[in-house]
Structure 1
């Protein structure tokens, strides 16, 4: 019981609950990975499905025969990396302008951008497809990057974070002769590292898992992203569904994003500490 007279929850109970929750969350991923190494004759259902008696990499070999995994993996990696970097830069740049500069129509333009968050992105798929076709960007990976180079959610998020940066810091930089772009690069970006790390984690997951826009803009197998190519795997192999092969593809999609998220999470924690010290 603590000082307020309220009985506190034992730490061991909380840790046990967290461990159980983590196991339940990770079990589908582990089950998928185990199934991807099973031979065709082994069971993939029931309590014994988690056991792999004869591990084999044939499912991955078969997967590489069905789809150009190396090329598709590069396409996903390229669009995710470039899309994330450009989104971070331009969303932060727009957020900086809306937060620290006064210009005519600033609030009208900002609230118009916020209102677009009420509309689903797919509503603009037809006009956007026409624009990409006229720009000769159909079947180009840039069609997945340029239209979302800055998003309403990202601009709103960065603007709200940059509002907390002291104006005196910006004014002092101007007095010292720093240009507007120099202030953004040397002052704003280092201060908002926690926001950049958080938005990077969200953007990486969204870009890697993107399915609708690659399916719309890309029409060649060699240009597909990993998510699209895996979804187009044949659902039947003779008289049975090749689940081990399909789950091998799903493993290649899921495992990299989990590793990337853990990597970005470390940067996010470091950014939070750095931001607290600078604040």
Structure 2
């Protein structure tokens, strides 16, 4: 973290309505530059709803492209510098746009949580490859809840019941889960350069998902290399790795909860009451009734 003095924020940000979705100022302060961002044809955009496996896929891609050519990056540079957060504008750090513009790597790996309608147009114009990762709504809600408890850069989550209601109402940073996952799913029907992945598939068979990623990216990574990457990006390995576990960011309070908590499928069963589950299922059916998108809540 040399050269950066990242202050701990003095209180949590407020949610406000921005372009029709809930946001905090950390993601809108640099809006003009975000929208004007110039993508390059070989950029690879990792896009997710928060807490869907973003860091996992970022790390896999970073190893696929630069694990052998620039191994020193792996031990000296936290993942959030290797894969900049495009819309992020945090005190003490260069903005995501600045970081991306200065990336020395080709291709540039960039992450975003922006819903499909707010993504800078240049990504589509340059026909960039987009890797989208989706996670089932129940586990996503649980993970987001624990993340908001420890992340001072997000609004106060309240108790689990309050939070779950807000999740269902879509009053979350980056808007409703339903619109986010469906938005990119629909875009995929008309834009062929989206590789749509599921967190549950990654947990079930990481090796197979790495193979599919390589195929989408046109990489002929040898099988031994893929196996090494699969092993190195195992949840427990990443949780221990200070370059991937976000422990160097003071905005996150690890005494409350680690950034990488469980990485499991089905942990929602430890949080949802029977009544909450019934209510959620009913609401989910309404919200997703027009979509062909299907999720697994257990494996």
Does the TM-score normalized on the shorter chain lie above 0.5?
no
Computing the radius of gyration from Cα coordinates, the structure with the larger value is 1
Q: Which fold has the larger relative contact order, with Cα–Cα distance below 8 Å and residues 6 or more apart in sequence?
A: 1
Name whichever structure is richer in strand by fraction: 2
TM-score by length of 2: 0.22
TM-score by length of 1: 0.23
